[in-house]
C-alpha cells in the first residue's frame, strides 16, 4: 500500500474536485465566523457558474430580489479569466481548517455528488482543472494528505471489515448464495447486444446528443460492500455515485475466506491491468458518453468480468484509487496511436468491493439506518442507526 501523493491527486479530475471541495468548505466555515469573508465563497460560486458548459442553457442563475431580471450570461474568455483570478485570490491566503474525519468525508461526498459520465465536466471540474489553480490546490492537497484522517484512503480491502448496504424503507441485504456465473453470463450477453445495436444506430459524430449505458461497474446482482467509518457507518451511506438520495438503509457485515483472491484497484494502471486480463468492447455503446466526459475519441473497452472472475473473487477500488483513476481516459494498450484501447472507471463508488464469485457471507445482524433530515444537501451527520442493535460506527451519545 503506497501513500497517495499530491501529484497523483491533482492529476485526476476527482482528486482536483476533492481539493476544491475542501477549499469550499473552508471558505464557508470562515464566513460563518467572519461574514466579511463571504466574498471567497461567492468567488467560487461565480466561477463555477461562469465556467459551466451549460451556462445560460441547462444552467441558469435566477434572481428573486428587487424584481430584476437576470442579466444575460457572460462566459467570454475575458470573464472566465476574471473569475478564475478571483478564485486564486480567494484561496491564496485562505486559512485551512483541520482535516477532520467529518470535513474530509463531506468533501468526498461533494466530489462523488458531482461525478458525471454522460455530460461534459461541470463548472467546478472546469475550475479545478484551470492551470492557475495549480498552486493553491497543491497547498490544499498537501494539507489533506498530511492528516491522519486521510491515511486509510489508500488501504486495501483486508484492512477493515466489509459491510453490505441495501437502500430503501424495509430493505434487507441479500446475502444468500447466488449463481454468479449466470449473472456474469447474462451481463456479457447484454453488453454484446448493446454493441450490436450501437453499431447499427449510434451516430458517427462523437458529439451527437444521445446517451447510453455509461457505467463500467460489474453487473447488478453481485454483492457490493464497503468498509465502515467510526461514527458514520458504512461508507456507502455517504459515497454513492448517481444516487437517488435514499432516506433509509439496512446494513450487515460480511466475511470471506482467507483464500479469497482480491484484486486491488489502487490507481489507473491497475484498471489497465484488469482490461488486459480480459476486455470487452464497448466502443459503440459508450463512445458518445465517454467522449463527453473525457473529451477523447478512443477505442473504448472495459474489463470482461467473466474472465476476471476466473482469476479473482473480488475487485476493490480504494478511495485513493477512485480519486486518482475514476472519470479519466485510461490507456489500456501499447503503442502511440491516439485510438489505442482506453477505458473509464465510471459508476464506481469510493471504497467499493464487488464480489465476482460467491465467497462472501453474512457474519452479523442486519441493522437499519435512516437519514434524520430530508436529503436536501450533503450532511454526513444526518445518517443514524434507527435501532438499538450494535451497528458499524455507532455514535456515542
Both 147 and 163 in one domain: the answer is: no
Q: What per-residue confidence (pLDDT) applies to 56? A: 53
Residue 391 lies in a domain: no
Q: What per-residue confidence (pLDDT) applies to 335? A: 47
Tell me which residue of 264, 263, 300, 301 sits closest to 279, measured CA to CA.
301
Helix (H, G, I), strand (E, B) or coil at 59: strand
- What range does the domain containing 58 cover? 6-154
Q: Of the residues 98, 122, 154, which one is the last residue of a structural domain?
A: 154
Both 21 and 150 in one domain: the answer is: yes
Q: Where does the chain have alpha helices with state H?
A: 6-10, 13-33, 38-50, 77-92, 101-113, 123-129, 134-145, 180-201, 268-277, 283-294, 305-311, 319-325
- State the Cα–Cα distance between residues 225 and 265, nearest whole angstrom: 15
Q: What per-residue confidence (pLDDT) applies to 234? A: 94
Q: What torsion, rounded to 10 degrees, do the Cα atoms 47, 51, 55, 58 define?
A: -110
Both 183 and 328 in one domain: the answer is: yes
Residue 397 lies in a domain: no
Both 336 and 230 in one domain: the answer is: yes
Both 215 and 278 in one domain: the answer is: yes
Both 224 and 110 in one domain: the answer is: no
Q: Of the residues 135, 154, 173, which one is the last residue of a structural domain?
A: 154
Q: How many CB atoms lie within 10 A of CB 46?
A: 17
Both 15 and 104 in one domain: the answer is: yes
CA 249 to the chain's CA centroid = 20
Q: What per-residue confidence (pLDDT) applies to 391? A: 47
Q: What per-residue confidence (pLDDT) applies to 376? A: 47
The low-confidence residues of the chain, meaning pLDDT below 70, are 1, 56-72, 170-171, 203, 334-339, 373-378, 387-397
Q: Of the residues 123, 154, 185, which one is the last residue of a structural domain?
A: 154
Q: What per-residue confidence (pLDDT) applies to 394? A: 44
Q: Tell me the whole-structure pTM to 2 decimals.
A: 0.91
In the chain, how many domains are there?
2
Amino acid at each position: 500500500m503506497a501513500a497517495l501523493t499530491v501529484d497523483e491527486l491533482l492529476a485526476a479530475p476527482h482528486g482536483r474536485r476533492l481539493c476544491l471541495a475542501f477549499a469550499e468548505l473552508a471558505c464557508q466555515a470562515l464566513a460563518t465566523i467572519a461574514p466579511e469573508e463571504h466574498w471567497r465563497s461567492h468567488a467560487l460560486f461565480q466561477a463555477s457558474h461562469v465556467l459551466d458548459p451549460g451556462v445560460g442553457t441547462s444552467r441558469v442563475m435566477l434572481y428573486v430580489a428587487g424584481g430584476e431580471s437576470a442579466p444575460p450570461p457572460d462566459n467570454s474568455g475575458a470573464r472566465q479569466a476574471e473569475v478564475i483570478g478571483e478564485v486564486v485570490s480567494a484561496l491564496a491566503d485562505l486559512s485551512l481548517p483541520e482535516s477532520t474525519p467529518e470535513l474530509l468525508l463531506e468533501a468526498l461526498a461533494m466530489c462523488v455528488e458531482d461525478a458525471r459520465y454522460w455530460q461534459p465536466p461541470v463548472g467546478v471540474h472546469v475550475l479545478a482543472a484551470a492551470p492557475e489553480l495549480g498552486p493553491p490546490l497543491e497547498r490544499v492537497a498537501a494539507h489533506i494528505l498530511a492528516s491522519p484522517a486521510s491515511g486509510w484512503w489508500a488501504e486495501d480491502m483486508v484492512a477493515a471489515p466489509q459491510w453490505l448496504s441495501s437502500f430503501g424503507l424495509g430493505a434487507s441485504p441479500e446475502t444468500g448464495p447466488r449463481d454468479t456465473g449466470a449473472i456474469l453470463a447474462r451481463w456479457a450477453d447484454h453488453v454484446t447486444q448493446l454493441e450490436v445495436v450501437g453499431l447499427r444506430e449510434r451516430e458517427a459524430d462523437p458529439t451527437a446528443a444521445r446517451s447510453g449505458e455509461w457505467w463500467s461497474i460489474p453487473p447488478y446482482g453481485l454483492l457490493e460492500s464497503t468498509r465502515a467509518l467510526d461514527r458514520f457507518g458504512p461508507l456507502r451511506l455517504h459515497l454513492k455515485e448517481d444516487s437517488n438520495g435514499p432516506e433509509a438503509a439496512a446494513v450487515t457485515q460480511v466475511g470471506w475466506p482467507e483464500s479469497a483472491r482480491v484484486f486491488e484497484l489502487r490507481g489507473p494502471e491497475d484498471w489497465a491491468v484488469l482490461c488486459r486480463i480480459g476486455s470487452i468492447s464497448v466502443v459503440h455503446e459508450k463512445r458518445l458518453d465517454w467522449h463527453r466526459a473525457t473529451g477523447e475519441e478512443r477505442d473504448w473497452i472495459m474489463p470482461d468480468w467473466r474472465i476476471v472472475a476466473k482469476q479473482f473473487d473480488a475487485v476493490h477500488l480504494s478511495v485513493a484509487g477512485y480519486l486518482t483513476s475514476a472519470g479519466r481516459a485510461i490507456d489500456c494498450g501499447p503503442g502511440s496511436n491516439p485510438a489505442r484501447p482506453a477505458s473509464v472507471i465510471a459508476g464506481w463508488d469510493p471504497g467499493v468491493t464487488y464480489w465476482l464469485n460467491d465467497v462472501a457471507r453474512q457474519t452479523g445482524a442486519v441493522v437499519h439506518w435512516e437519514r434524520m433530515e430530508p436529503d436536501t444537501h450533503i450532511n454526513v451527520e444526518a445518517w443514524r442507526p434507527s435501532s438499538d442493535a450494535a451497528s458499524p460506527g455507532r455514535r456515542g451519545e
